Amino acid sequence: MSVEVQARCEVLRELLHAHNHAYHTLDAPTISDSEYDRLFQELLSLESRYPTLKTDDSPTQRIGAPPLKGFKQVQHERPMLSLDNAFNAQDISEFDKRVSERLQVEEVIYCAEPKIDGVAISLLYEQGRFVRAATRGDGLMGEDVTANVKTIDAVPLILQGSDYPVRLEVRGEIYLSKAVFESLNAGLIAAGEKPFANPRNAAAGSLRQLDSRLTAKRRLTMFAYSVGLVEGGGIADQHWDVMQQLKTWGFRINADIACVQGPAACQAYFERMAERRAELSYDIDGVVFKVNGLSEQQTLGLLTRTPRWAIAGKFPAAQGTTRVLEVVYQVGRTGAVTPVAKLQPVAVGGVTISNATLHNFDEIDRLGLQLGDTVVIERAGDVIPKVVRVVQTARDSAARPIEPPQVCPSCGSPLERREAAVVLRCLQGFICPAQQKERIRHFVSRLAMDIDGLGTKVVEQLLEAGVINNPADLFSVTVDELLTLERFAEKSANKLVASIAASKSTTLNRFIYALGIPEVGEATALALANHFGSLEGLMAADETALTEIPDVGPVVATALEAFFREPLNRQLLQQFQDLGVHWPVEVPLIAHELPLADQVWVITGTFSAFGRSELKDRLTALGAKVSGSISKKTSVLAAGEAAGSKLAKAEALRVEVMNEQTLIAMLEEME
């Protein structure tokens, strides 16, 4: 290999980086596509002939690398915070009032920009070279997606200029343009595959491909929106100026970024972007306002997981008008029958909607909905579209009432609607095909029997092959039976059989929860196990005895009594025990004698000694009721690292807050 070849590679890399910057950042290409392709192919050819010349930051590395086995976890050097939301002008005004009062100024200057509906990313540069990309994750830990992000042309592999810090973390939003999204979905549909629901889901799915060569084909792009870690160099003291620095270093920034002063200007910018939303080439779901001065940001500080100096103004839920063509019925895991409206397809918020949930027949009555009606539907973020109201003036003579089904659409069994319940329910449980798969999936899930290796596809294979018909059948599955299924080798078959065998030893509360009894969640299952101490005691209890338990009301008691009265369910329970499923015999506990009886706890943040679900189990076992929201009735907030807005609310309500160290000491003393 000659010195001339090495020099030529260096020249080609510099040229291609410069042309990439001009095309993707400045939107001002300096050469034709064909000339760029010629230079790229020349470099690719030289690197193929002389592999030692290939560098990690070469433009040729954007084509992707061989598949990874999985993503490594990455700890962010600075937490990636989330933003509080503003839903109207008053929310924005109140945010501005809090900021101006804390800063003791009349009017605050904000940096405003569209809120891209994509995937947050952290990019780390050392000595001007791209070294790592990580997803946001939980704000403290993310996934290393470096190989995938390398394929994105808008992400510079080498920074432009020379005045950048030695170590620089740049944060941004990776997304798919509307045009690329439509092209991607058209290709998936043509190939007989399921299309993505929206550009954000498509971007997230593309970024998490283990094969970066697939990511490269998805044509992702990125806007930078801030910096995190800065070491060994200076940064501007105004957010606006920081963004201009990022642009000179090779990053794309949004052309609609602007400085505004005071709440009225913020609202005007918000309304302007809302009007322009449909014409943009990418999806946005709101506007972000950040205090422009970095020193003022420091003064304002943080609220655990959200900054006091920024807020996201969210656009109202997207709505559309269409017609209800028919109503179909879906059967869920617990047998609940949900009516779903089949709609004349309509575009809402950039997504074509053809289905909307109707929840239950009480909701249909509330809406006054009939078949053939014109309706207003609403879609907010990833929420399933719903019918908001009927356009009564558009109803014609062809409209007709929606009659509740009398039998299960899956198994044909009579449906039941118990007193005080709002849903129709099929009571055939594991016999009903629609419930069978979902009930088994629930049975093997982590919080239930926790059978490792039994994912959805394996459950489907076992059912389709007739190897199992109910969850008890799992405990008699053999290695030979698994070897007849696709993708099973001897090692994986032995591993799954061993995992199933290990799960036979469980706890009574996990087993009760795994049964998937309607209305019985983790906390109720634990309360039942503590109260009765045995499955036999629970099965023998009538509704009166069941309602004596603090966590069990009339609806839950009715569901429990009905489940254990059903002969097929009793046969299934006997089958479990015959196959060796067992748990320690518990001494029944009297709820009011437990140390945390009558206390309401809320959990927030991340804990190093245990997961949140484990902590919930331990607190519930001690008699506490664990709630998901803070209120005046909350006794204690268990706050781990990076606790969110719940911590601020607890402090405002003067609720006791217990950190992890104090919590561990309390648990060790009580357990």
pLDDT digits (tens, 9 = 90+) for 358-387: 988 888 999 999 999 999 998 765 457 889
Rounded to the nearest angstrom, the gap between the alpha carbon of residue 526 and the centroid of all alpha carbons in its chain is 27
Query: Mean pLDDT for the chain?
Result: 86
Q: What pLDDT does residue 380 have? A: 62
- pLDDT confidence bin for 66, thresholds 50/70/90: low
- pLDDT above 70 as % of the chain: 93
pLDDT score for 88: 86
Higher model confidence: residue 611 or residue 123?
123
Looking at per-residue pLDDT, the higher value among 62 and 531 belongs to 531
- pTM flag (> 0.75): no
Residue 138 has pLDDT above 80, yes or no: no
Question: How far apart are alpha carbons 374 and 440 in whole angstroms?
Answer: 39
pLDDT score of 593? 64
Query: Does residue 110 carry a pLDDT above 90?
Result: yes
Q: Is the pLDDT of residue 455 over 90?
A: no
Let me know the angle formed at the C-alpha of 663 by 657 and 644, rounded to the nearest 5 degrees.
45
pLDDT tens digits for range 160-170: 988 899 999 99
Query: How many Cα atoms occupy the beta-carbon half-sphere of 112 within 13 Å?
Result: 24
Query: Using H for helix, E for strand and C for coil, what is the string for 300-360?
Result: HCEECCEECCEEEEECCCEEEEEEEEEEEEEECCCCEEEEEEEEEEEEECCEEEEEEECCC
Say yes or no to pLDDT of 65 above 60: no
Mean pLDDT for 316-331 is: 89
CA atoms in the 13 A half-sphere facing the CB of 389: 5
| Burial class (CB within 10 angstroms; exposed 0-12, middle 13-18, buried 19+) of 428 | buried
Q: Give mean pLDDT, residues 279-293.
A: 92
Band of residue 647 on the pLDDT scale cut at 50, 70, 90: confident
Cα Rg of the chain, angstroms = 29
Q: Which residue has the tokens 């995992």?
A: 499
Domains and CATH numbers, the chain: 3-63 (1.10.287.610), 85-314 (3.30.470.30), 318-401 (2.40.50.140), 429-502 (1.10.150.20), 508-578 (1.10.150.20), 594-670 (3.40.50.10190)
At residue 580, the pLDDT reads 94
Query: pLDDT-derived band of residue 259, with 50, 70 and 90 as boundaries?
Result: very high
- Per-residue pLDDT at 33: 63
Amino acid at 176: L
**What confidence tier does 523 reach under pLDDT thresholds 50, 70, 90?**
confident
Fill in the amino acid letter for 560: L
Q: What mean pLDDT do residues 204-209 have?
A: 86
Going by DSSP bridges, is the β-strand pair 306-307/129-135 parallel, antiparallel, or unpaired? unpaired
pLDDT at 268: 95
Which strand (E) or helix (H) includes residue 86? strand 85-86
Active centre residues (catalytic) = 115
Which helix (H) or strand (E) segment holds residue 92: the answer is helix 89-103
HSE-up (13 A, CA, CB side) for residue 303: 18
pLDDT digits (tens, 9 = 90+) for 490-504: 999 999 999 999 999
